[in-house]
Structure 1
Amino acid sequence: DVLAAASPLGEVLVVATPAPEALAGARHVPDPRHGQGAAVRAALDAAVAAGLPAPYVIVNADVPCATTRDLLALVGAVPEHGLALAPASDGTTNALALADEGLFEPVYGPGSAARFAALAPSTRLDAPNLVDDVDTVDDLGRLAARLGEHTRRVLLSLHLESAA
């Protein structure tokens, strides 16, 4: 669902190993396998090498309620020479939009939202669809009314329809 939400914004890069079969037109970037920060850096480097313009939007894959509208709001919140972020309810970071790739520092982990906000002029976007991520099956049940169609379809195929 994150891929579907991001696609209307422009070219989408997905960091994964191995290459997922269902990239739906997105460009695959091999995962360097050195954590989330290294994965994001690989995607940013690939975007710059391909000549893709800023702002750069980074969204975790475990945000199944994300919509294009949410991501456009995140992009619209980016201050000049700064970043916008959507923190998770636990203080980590679910999504970022960067005015420049050079603003990125790999500060993921507990408390990362505050660390990202301290890197540059920043705007916090508390959009429920970006704040709510999935860490457990119970989270899927909690978010059932807002899950994207792709997540719903997978849950049905796994016979986890009670979670959605």
Structure 2
Amino acid sequence: MAELNIVLHEPEIPANTGNIGRTCVATGTKLHLIEPLGFSLSEKHLKRAGMDYWKDLDVTVYENWEDFCKRNPGAKIYYATTKGRHVYSDVHYEPDCFIMFGKESAGIPEEILKANPDTCVRIPMIGETRSLNLSNSVAIVLYEALRQNDFDHMKLEGQLHRLSWDD
């Protein structure tokens, strides 16, 4: 079973993290938050964006990058960055990999990227666009990883409430 992981390195905007938390619940994905956070986990904007899903979220908080590395030794990590050498859809995401995103104002620290050039991925954009919204970026890359893993354990078909598709 695919057990993907989203990592947010020092996220700053509670609404983004709330939206990402909701996406993680909807996909059975674990969320990892690396401090310092730009908000409190009890902040109302975080809960509002995550709606009533936040209570169902599998979330782990780490003191810093070193704490994350120590508690996840040998983890396969993909680093989503505008500086990446590879397009996010051109790599293969293992069923238990971690996909890391940096803080909204600065991204992932360059020393981390420099140490991991082969697993840095980017979402293509035109011109000099600085970046996409963090929660949108997470959704784009996460759903590609889920697609590559055949949407393992996910509901693949919807149902009408009052009619059947054959009516």
Q: TM-score, normalised by structure 2?
A: 0.31
Alignment TM-score, normalising by the size of structure 1? 0.31
Q: Could you say which structure has the greater relative contact order, defined with CA pairs below 8 angstroms and 6 or more residues apart? A: 2
